[in-house]
Structure 1
Amino acid sequence: MERSKVYFTTFKTTGNENLLQKLRRLILTAGIRDIDFTDRYAAIKIHFGEMGNLAFLRPNYAKVVADVVKECGGKPFLTDCNTLYVGSRKNALDHMDTAYANGFSPFSTGCHVIIADGLKGTDEAYVPVNGEYVKEAKIGRAVMDADVFITLTHFKGHEATGFGGALKNIGMGCGSRAGKMEMHSDGKTHVDQTKCVGCGACKKICAHDAPSVTDGKASIDIDKCVGCGRCIGVCPKDAVYANSNDSNDVLNYKIAEYSLAVCKDRPCFHISLICDVSPNCDCHAENDIPIIPNVGMFASFDPVALDVACADACNRQPVILGSVLSDHMEGHHHEEGDHFHMVHPDTNWKSCIEHAVKIGLGSDQYELIEI
């Protein structure tokens, strides 16, 4: 298998070049200008960070990428899709408030923020995949409307997928509410009866007559439910939820197939920064201390090779004393394994990589080029 080029630079700076200048040099050297941006919309997929989390990437990095796109004649925008869980990014208004509070404004980044799947997470495009697990991916419409797709990823641990890298940022991050439901579960919703007040909002929004209200409590007929997630968006008490009933491996397979849906048939470029490597996703409203020291910045046209290169780089790092990783390693000195599996033993990030290679999304073989 041909090796993909992955470009890398450390966070070490000099008096002549700061980190932002170094990131610019990295992506230019990696070939981002080979993409024709002229008068084309460029989606920059990023995680804006949950309110209270401080591990997300600083907006300064996003400005570097947006500025390069504009210099090449493109029209960049920062984007993400709404969350399936209840938090500060569950609808477009809260999501944009969170993005602005965390520093991602047009004034700080030089481009606008667009929540790709709309106000309630239901503005989606249906993208044929015909995969082993996904036949038709449900992707935030603004992501699919873009002519060029770029990822700017904070590489960190993840409680379900092992780590959150480029593929997680693409596949799960670009899924609409219904898409996220499909990846996390069988796509069916359920009602927490203790929270339900019987208002009937779920029944009014459903086109398939799945919800019903009896004795002041709603319930959902899963045989009628098509997994669109609209009932989650309209529930005023956050009583409607999707079960997470797929194995982590199947979740990873679906993420790979969703990533293929997003990336195929258009120019893509991927950037990952390994810094503040928290044990869990930036979706958490908190972030624990990093599990390893900061490593550097990576860029590639191949998101699969990029994830493998980042994982390998992380696993070469020493463990930070007092971190979750350090705690988990106590009493396991004889075990040789990767850091992310040690933090979350029930996960297997390699399953996502293997499936991504299988479906032709990219290569797990890479040539690391340090600048």
Structure 2
Amino acid sequence: MASKVYFADFRCPSWRENLPQKLARLMMTAGFGDIDMDGKYVAIKMHFGEPGNMAYLRPNWAKTVADLVKSQGGKPFLTDCNTLYIGGRKNALDHMESAYVNGFTPYSTGCHIIIADGLKGNDEVAVPVEGGEYVKEAKIGRAVMDADVFISLTHFKGHEQAGFGGCLKNIGMGCGSRAGKMEQHNSGKPFVKQKLCVGCHACAKICAHGAPTFDADNKATINTDKCVGCARCLAVCPKDAIQCMYDEAPSILNYKIAEYTKAVVDGRPCFHVSLVMDVSPNCDCHGENDVPIVPNVGMFASFDPVALDQACIDAVLAQPKMPNSAIGSGEACQCEDHFKAAHPDTDWEAALIHSEKIGLGSREYELVKI
């Protein structure tokens, strides 16, 4: 059965309604008000943007959603999980500082920020994945699972590994703890860049399984037979010498993202919003952003994350390519698939196919325009 996806463009031709008001009207028309939020904790999952990136969703959008939650009696908080890679969001303190730098404060958004997997990215819950083929227990940030109601607020864009970064990516990868992210990106085992290792033994002290060993030069190596993929060593290394190998095949990565998403949304009220604007070719995790590959499209909302992503994809594919963008010239300009044009080796459709297979949602949708 087709799921309903609600759509509104970004036009505000008169003084009677601004964009935040239009988003609130879209959400309420889509059935947001039917969710029982009275006295409930409501997680709003979004990306705060890597410092230096300018394509992320601005705090104004978060405030619109948070205010709407409060109008329904809910207790909202903004949330995300820490990253695996070196950057401004690899622990909760740096993550919150990055959010503040990018304008996300209780005064601008009307609610607090909670980094879901804690200070060092290891505060997680093992959540069974019903029907999971690649993941039996997803490692999800605890604060995400503690919430009574879950809302995703997504900046829809391209992605250099998944093909596109939409609702599924925002939830599945975004709600994974550091160990969860590592599990999705590879077999779940870290490695050591020995030229960066200073032999401090912090990794050995944190490891409960004796996986780190040291050579004659006091350089660490991870014994993958003993490693359980908890990612605690990544969090404590002062030199970022311990890293995750991003070697999972694109299709398998997307299968795992779908299964992690299912772990997050199963068993509680959920609602999803995606804004198709500033459609950069790469993720907001980059410390920079390229120009948009297509014009701004609009805002989408649905109870079905799969239908929502499919609707956003169809909307992007229907747009003309922006001149002088990553797909606006050369060989990329000849490719009709905008996502493949930006990243030819990706397999964006795999996430949708697998999501539908495991009962996460439907790729069939009815677009309701307001």
Whether these two folds match at TM > 0.5 is: yes
**Amino acid corresponding to residue 276 of structure 1 in structure 2:** D
Residue matched to 1:17:
17
- The answer to whether the 8 Å contact 1:328/1:343 transfers is no
**Amino acid corresponding to residue 284 of structure 1 in structure 2:** H
Change (3 A) 1:316 1:233: same
**Amino acid corresponding to residue 64 of structure 1 in structure 2:** T
Residue matched to 1:235:
237
Q: Say if 2:5 is the partner of 1:6.
A: yes
Residue matched to 1:339:
338
Deviations 1:287-320 (A, max 9, x none): 0010000000000000000000000000110111
Task: Spell out the pairing of 1:1-371 with structure 2 (5 A cutoff).
Answer: 2-13=1-12, 14-129=14-129, 131-214=132-215, 215-329=217-331, 333=334, 335=335, 337-371=336-370
Using the TM superposition, give the Cα deviation of residue 68 of structure 1 relative to its aligned residue in structure 2, in angstroms. 0.6
Using the TM superposition, give the Cα deviation of residue 213 of structure 1 relative to its aligned residue in structure 2, in angstroms. 2.0
Using the TM superposition, give the Cα deviation of residue 245 of structure 1 relative to its aligned residue in structure 2, in angstroms. 1.9
TM-score (norm 1): 0.98
- The root-mean-square deviation of aligned C-alpha atoms, in Å, is 0.9
TM-score (norm 2): 0.98
Change (3 A) 1:172 1:276: same
**Amino acid corresponding to residue 151 of structure 2 in structure 1:** I
Taking the aligned partners of 2:264 and 2:201, their CA distance within structure 1 comes to: 35
Off by >4 Å, runs of 4+ in structure 1: none
**Amino acid corresponding to residue 324 of structure 1 in structure 2:** A
List runs of 5+ in structure 2 lacking aligned partners. Answer: none
**Amino acid corresponding to residue 348 of structure 1 in structure 2:** D
Taking the aligned partners of 1:182 and 1:213, their CA distance within structure 2 comes to: 25
Deviations 1:242-270 (A, max 9, x none): 11221010000000000000000000000
List runs of 5+ in structure 1 lacking aligned partners. Answer: none
**Amino acid corresponding to residue 306 of structure 1 in structure 2:** L
Using the TM superposition, give the Cα deviation of residue 180 of structure 1 relative to its aligned residue in structure 2, in angstroms. 0.3
Deviations 1:46-89 (A, max 9, x none): 00000000100010010010001001010000000000111000
SS in 2 for 1:360: coil
SS in 1 for 2:327: helix
Taking the aligned partners of 1:82 and 1:303, their CA distance within structure 2 comes to: 22
Using the TM superposition, give the Cα deviation of residue 195 of structure 1 relative to its aligned residue in structure 2, in angstroms. 0.2
SS in 1 for 2:367: strand
**Amino acid corresponding to residue 239 of structure 2 in structure 1:** K
**Amino acid corresponding to residue 157 of structure 2 in structure 1:** K
Using the TM superposition, give the Cα deviation of residue 327 of structure 1 relative to its aligned residue in structure 2, in angstroms. 2.7
SS in 2 for 1:79: strand
Aligned residues: 367
